[in-house]
Structure 1
Amino acid sequence: MIISAGTPSEDASGRIGTTPMRVAEALVNEDTNRLPQENTVSDRGAAVSLFYTSTPLSVDVGTTPIGFETIGVNAGLTARLIMGDAQIRATVESRPVTDSVLSYAGVTDRWSDLRYGRVTKNAGTFGGSFNFDNGGAYLDATYKTFDGDNVLENTGYEVNGGAYYRPVNRDGDVMQVGVNVNLQAYDENQRFFTYGHGGYFSPQQFVSLALPVSYQRTRPRYSWHAGLTLGLQSYSEDSANVFPTSPESQATLAAYQLLDPDVVTRYAGQDRTGLAVAANLGGEYKLMPTTAAGGEMALDTFGAYKEYKVRFFLRQTFTN
């Protein structure tokens, strides 16, 4: 796995790690020398996971990519109660937050040499679903906490529900159309990249209405799937301290701001509403009856936000 945030612009470089303190000092001292630009932020490694799945229970245990400076746990457990066409389920999990290089792998501040980021989400979900003929409905509620290396702790809530219909469902071909509603709320806005922030999307209010369409084909030796989701999203973010875990650094910035009003001590809040588009394409091929190789490409966009993912995998299945 290779992850990269690219090379930040000069303006963005001033909002990474403890650089805002250097920017403030330069403004107060009327130093016109440009600060050195941040280098490309990237990391690489290979993750390992083991899965066990049965009708009442699913378990997975793995690691974050081996090759990152610090290796973490990636694991979850789901228990299900099946009642005819209805299902009640509960999940507990501990997952890395993969929104950015900062949240996933963590980075080292170039000025203080301090490591921060590498955020872990610990979550509990309770929900259920009901299937009927070629359709169904589902509803899940999640409580989650976030912690990482030298970042502000956070708490979030999420409700996700929807319904779907399969106009094509025969001979290994499945086409599914649906509607999905997602509600989220977080205590702290941790979207930024200065020291103490986690670099992950955590709005104080989030609402989305989405229309997903997918097609999947399964054959004895191979399978592939494709999906497209169009939606309307609206979210609100509170303002946040530049250094949320360091009152001393915040106080220093405030003192600099008294000398020069251009010094930034807090990031502004914002409200955004717009269209969102997500797409994915993937597949796998059986090399042997219990061994498969595959990959997937995904795109997720909302306004100026764009995320691209490409992954490859090798899976070994063990059966009784």
Structure 2
Amino acid sequence: MRTNVLFNLLLITSCQSFAMPLSAQPSDAIDVLIKRIEQAEAAGRIYHRDRLIEQLQRTAPNHPRAIEFELVEALANNNMTLAKTLFEALQTSVPNSIITARNKERMQISQPPYQSLIAQARLAMLTGKTERARELYKQVYDAEPLLEPYRTDWLKLTSLSQQASAATDSIYPSNRSPEVTAKEPPTIPKARLTRTVTYSPIINGDSASAKSAVTPTSTPSNVDTSATPSSLENQGPYLTIGFLRNDRDSVAGNTSFASDTLLLEYRNPTEYGIWTVKLDGFTTEAGEFDLSNTFQKDRFGTGLLCQTDACNQGLLDNLTEGGASLGVAFDNDIWHVDLGVSPIGFDKKELLGGLEYSGDLGEFGWGLGIERRIETTSILTFSGQKDPFSSRRWGPVVRQGIGGSLNWDQGGLMGWWSNFGVNHYSGRNVDDNKQWYAYTGVYFRIIDTEAFAFTSGLTALSWGFDKNRGETTFGHGGYYSPAHYASLSLPLEFFGRIDRFSYILRASFGESTSRLDDAAFYPTSAELQQLAGNPIHIGNPDGGGFGRSFRAAFEYRISPHWSIGLNTQIERSEFYTPNNYQLYFRYHFDGDGNAFRPPNPPSRYVDF
């Protein structure tokens, strides 16, 4: 179809006499079709609109509106050569029309300098900085724009300016002397917050898994490769209520872990940035420990030192914890800061937080941050616990680190990202440990339309720990800590939005290699280690294997105020099989919240 359009455009520009005159087209049918396209656009029925546009381009490829729609698609795909050809065709066929003027404006604002000014102006509108928005718009436009939403912004700014002038005139009548006027400061009404849902600054905060990488299959989410990042697509305040179920089947009462979380997330843009408040209620359990399994009993707490009949038979009660975590975060174009606490009510709570600065270096983006987080892979790492064979307590495990990022993305076919840094692991009666990490990846936007997008690429991870502290005997942290781990994976991602419905399907397949060192049973107590006869946890010098993960998420806008979402994710490798299931409802206070593209389920504060 694209070849036919270009062929017809060449006929228009070089041999116009052979082009079909507009009067020969079935104009009534075309007008009806164009009206249906406009109605679908106004109703937000994007998929239906795109099908109607295809019908118009098949029926009347030389019609100015058909050429205009093709030009818009070319600009969306950053195909400036085709866009220029199509615009020249419009200039030739309808030189003095409103369509040509509209697309001249469209061609202008597609240039990088104007794109930046428009983005800054829309953000200023969002945060109530109307004077700043007015100044920026004047750098782009000499007169009222033709395109929406810029025309609406322009008219709104003009109206606010007139109101401010009227208020000033009422305070300073023309017949008053300058001396009197100078003594009375004006009281101009503050402009109301102007919000929009079309400006989409590119901010991606989904890097928690990349920074910790405490599991053999942890794969960082690459930078947001969608055309419209979901995290900030809708700019108004909203409240999300969700339920999250995490579970991992392993040794009951020890390394098995399940948690149910009630999530409350409130997000609100202000004049200076975006505030987020997270309140999460937790219940966790590990199951009943079978003491007759002496192999596992000896490798938990100080079980090896307890060899009586009472220690080697029966079941320990199901290990459970309950509590609530709270966190507050602030984000703007360059800063991220958050502060919170791990669940209050757990065996031990921890103060958490992070600070990050990001900027540009030529065509590259970079970031630098510090953070204090808690590990959430088991009751030992998350809440801490009591040794069932003594009065000792150990855990939880806290990760403190400094990290950086470097990425390149010009909005075209491909992009590149990287994360790197060091972490220090510590905890109550847990041996200290150090980690380094370096991750990188490349991604390709193979298809990118509103209804369907497909991205893929390669992800490479490399990281390691100073010591193996991944066991659950007293003094260990219970987190996966190989001396070295490396993997290469292939992510495949499909996402889109059709009318009120959005979706994402993701699969990742990878191969890894690892080396796990030997470790003392009781690294924080030489006395216990000696009493037990200096036992050693045997490592694995040749670990690794094949891993895969799958994710599916869906979001549907029930009404202008309400959306519902589902999210599920599973990971599979030889010894790591977590499952995550989530249901959530989102309420948009302004009543104009669409389904995010791709879906944007709420996250727990402890997973920041």
> Is TM more than 0.5 here?
yes
Task: Provide closer, same or farther for how the CA distance between residues 290 and 274 of structure 1 changes in structure 2, counting only shifts above 3 A.
Answer: same
Q: For residue 511 of structure 2, what is the aligned residue in structure 1?
A: 232
Paired residue for 2:296?
Answer: 12
The residue type equivalent to 2:487 in the other structure is S
Tell me: CA distance 1:166–1:236, structure 2 relative to 1, closer, same or farther (3 Å): same
Match of 1:54 in 2: 332
Give the superposition deviation at 1:286: 6.5
- Aligned residue for 2:548, secondary structure, equals strand
Q: Residues 77 and 217 of structure 1: is their aligned pair in 2 closer, same or farther, counting only changes over 3 Å?
A: farther
Letter in 2 for 1:304: F
The 1-side partners of 2:404 and 2:436 are apart by 12
Q: How does 1:1-320 map to 2 (within 5 A)?
A: 1=261, 2-9=283-290, 10=293, 11-23=295-307, 26=308, 34-83=312-361, 85-132=363-410, 133-171=412-450, 173-218=452-497, 223-254=502-533, 265-270=535-540, 271-284=542-555, 294=565, 296-311=567-582
Q: Secondary structure at the match of 1:153?
A: strand
Deviates more, 1:124-133 or 1:58-67: 58-67
Cα distance in 2 for residues equivalent to 1:211 and 1:296: 21
Deviates more, 1:4-13 or 1:194-203: 4-13
TM-score (norm 2): 0.46
Cα deviation for residue 135 of structure 1 reads: 1.6
Amino acid at match of 1:114: R
Alpha-carbon distance in structure 2 between the residues aligned to 1:33 and 1:112: 11
Deviates more, 1:80-89 or 1:240-249: 80-89
Structure 1 CA distance for aligned equivalents of residues 360 and 568 of structure 2 = 33
Deviation string, structure 1 residues 40-59 (Cα, Å, up to 9, x no partner):
33433343332322221222
Asked if 1 retains the 8 angstrom alpha-carbon contact of 2:449 and 2:496, the reply is: no
Give, in angstroms, the shift of residue 292 of structure 1. Answer: 6.7
Paired letter, 1:278? S
2:371 counterpart letter in structure 1: E
2:58 alignment counterpart: none
Distance 1:141 1:59, change over 3 A: same
Deviations 1:64-120 (A, max 9, x none): 233323222332222111246420111211111122221111111112222211101
Any conservation in 2 of the 1:118–1:149 contact (CA below 8 Å)?
yes
TM-superposed CA distance for 1:291, in Å, is: 8.1
Q: So what's the TM-score if we normalise by structure 1?
A: 0.84
SS class of match (1:176): strand
Distance in 1, matches of 2:585 and 2:518, equals 43
The structure carrying a bigger helix percent of its residues is: 2
Taking the aligned partners of 2:559 and 2:349, their CA distance within structure 1 comes to 31
Q: Is the 8 A contact 1:117 1:199 kept in 2?
A: no
Shift of 1:63: 2.5
Structure 1 stretches lacking a partner, 5+ long: 255-263
Most deviating of 294-303 and 213-222: 213-222
SS in structure 2 of the partner of residue 160 of structure 1 = strand
Segment of structure 1 superposing worse, 220-229 or 56-65? 220-229
Contact kept, 8 Å, 2:287 with 2:318, in 1: the verdict is: yes
Flag the 1:142–1:228 CA change in 2: closer, same or farther, 3 A. same
> In structure 2, how many angstroms separate the alpha carbons of the residues matched to 1:291 and 1:51?
24
Residues 265-274 or 166-175, more deviating = 166-175
190-199 vs 280-289, which moves further = 280-289
C-alpha contact (below 8 Å) 1:99/1:201 kept by paired residues:
no
Supply the distance in 2 between the matched residues of 1:62 and 1:291 (Cα, whole angstroms): 28
Query: Which structure has the highest strand share of the two?
Result: 1
Name the amino acid aligned to 1:80. S
Distance 1:222 1:82 in 2: 34
